[in-house]
Structure 1
Amino acid sequence: MLILRSAALFVVAALFEIGGAWLVWQGVRENRGLLWIGAGVLALGAYGFVATLQPDANFGRILAAYGGVFVAGSLAWGMVADGYRPDRWDVTGALVCLAGMAIIMYVPRGN
Structure 2
Amino acid sequence: MEILKSLSIFVLAGLCEIGGGYLIWLWLKEEKPFWYGLIGAVILVAYGVIATWQSANFGRVYATYGGIFIAMALVWAWKVDGFKPDKYDVIGATVALVGVCIIIYAPRPA
Structure 1: any 5+ residue segments left out of the alignment? Answer: none
Q: C-alpha displacement at 1:110, in angstroms?
A: 1.4
1:48-67 matches, cutoff 5 A: 48-56=48-56, 58-67=57-66
CA apart distance, 1:33: 2.0
In the alignment, which residue of structure 1 is the partner of 2:21?
A: 21
Segments of 5+ residues of structure 2 without an aligned counterpart are none
Q: Hey, what does 1:73 align to over in structure 2?
A: 72
Which letter maps to 2:69? F
TM-score (norm 1): 0.96
Task: Report percent identity of matched pairs.
Answer: 46
Letter matched to residue 45 of structure 1? V
SS at match of 1:45: helix
CA contact (8 A) 1:2 1:55 kept: no
Q: How many residues align?
A: 110
The letter of the residue matching 1:84 is F
TM-score between the two structures when normalised by the length of structure 2: 0.97
